[in-house]
């Protein structure tokens, strides 16, 4: 179930529950009023909305129940339909980034600033992704920097940009810097497999294979059908001298993505 469908179901159930509560209050109010239940002392209730003030004095309990229920129902009606709310959610979901390591990754966390600032962040982030996929690392790093400079960026979203920078630094063998950024991203969100995969790749470059294996396995356990994660796990096993396990993972990656087929054939040729 995608985010939009799930939210619509949630919004529909939530509003129906509120309306049902209001209807129940109106019904109970009617029953109390029909029974002639009256207050023993003086009662007064009031509400203000701007310059409008409504005061009810010596109201029967049934009247109070009915007014409360009517107010709940009116609030749900005037608030608008679930579709009006989902538009905002879709704007947040549209701030999605496709990385070369996990094409299903989306930015997480609600906007903390204006929509305009978020739009600037989204454009810079997507620009960085485009440059990265084209191999223009310098332009990608500059665009990631622009994205991170936006005041509305939350820690959750910043982690995606840091992960992208860590990946670029790893390509340039700037492993010390890459390791620091990758660890920050994983610390922010340990449930994002793309972050775990990037950290595993950095650790492979540094020769820290035991720790790399832990993160690579975790990424595959979370997303077992992502070829890039299987390829990373294969690299770890091969680097550790575990050729059989590495070949199995590489074969799985090649079945999902043909670009790893040549690497699999090269591994088989080397072992002959």
pLDDT in tens, 159-181: 889 999 999 999 999 999 999 99
- Which residues make up the CATH 1.25.40.10 domain(s) of the chain? 94-271
- pLDDT (0 to 100) of residue 162: 92
Dig out the tokens for 235 from the structure: 């690299």
48-52, 60-64, 101-105: range with highest mean pLDDT: 60-64
More confident site: 193 or 10: 193
Q: Which of 23-32, 52-61, 246-255 is the most confident on average? A: 246-255
Q: Is the pLDDT score of 78 beyond 80?
A: no
Among 56-60, 97-101, 266-270, top mean pLDDT goes to 266-270
Confidence of residue 91 (pLDDT cuts 50, 70, 90): very low
pLDDT greater than 90 at residue 261? yes
User: Could you tell me if 58 and 40 are in contact, meaning their C-beta atoms sit under 8 angstroms apart?
Assistant: no
Task: Determine the CATH number of domain 94-271.
Answer: 1.25.40.10
* pLDDT surpassing 50 at residue 128: yes
Share of the chain above pLDDT 70, in %: 61
- 234 in Cβ contact with 221 (< 8 Å): no
Q: How far is CA 64 from CA 41, 70, 212, 216, 271, in A?
A: 15, 10, 65, 61, 84
pLDDT value at position 92? 34
């Amino acid at each position: 179930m995608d985010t939009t469908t799930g939210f619509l179901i949630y919004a529909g159930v939530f509003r129906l529950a509120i309306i049902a509560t209001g209807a129940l209050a109106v019904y109970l109010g009617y029953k109390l009023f029909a029974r002639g239940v009256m207050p023993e002392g003086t009662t007064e209730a009031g509400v203000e909305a701007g310059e409008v003030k409504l005061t009810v004095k010596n109201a029967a309990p049934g009247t109070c129940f009915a007014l409360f229920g009517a107010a709940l129902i009116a609030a749900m009606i005037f608030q608008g339909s679930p579709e009006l709310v989902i538009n905002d959610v879709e704007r947040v979901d549209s701030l999605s980034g496709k990385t070369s390591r996990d094409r299903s990754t989306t930015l997480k966390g609600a906007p903390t600033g204006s929509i305009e600032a978020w739009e600037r962040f989204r454009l810079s982030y997507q620009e960085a992704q485009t440059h990265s996929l084209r191999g223009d690392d310098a332009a990608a790093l500059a665009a990631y920097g622009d994205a991170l400079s936006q005041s509305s960026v939350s820690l959750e979203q910043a982690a995606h940009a840091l992960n992208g920078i860590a990946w670029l630094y790893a390509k340039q063998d700037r492993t010390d810097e890459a390791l620091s950024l990758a660890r920050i991203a994983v610390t922010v969100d340990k449930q994002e497999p793309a972050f775990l995969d990037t950290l595993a790749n950095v650790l492979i470059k540094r020769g820290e294979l035991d720790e790399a294996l832990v993160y690579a396995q975790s990424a595959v356990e979370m997303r077992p059908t992502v070829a890039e994660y299987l390829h990373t796990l294969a690299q770890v096993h091969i680097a550790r001298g575990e050729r059989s396990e590495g070949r199995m993972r590489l074969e799985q990656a090649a079945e999902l993505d043909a670009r790893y087929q040549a690497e699999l054939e090269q591994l088989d040729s080397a072992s002959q």
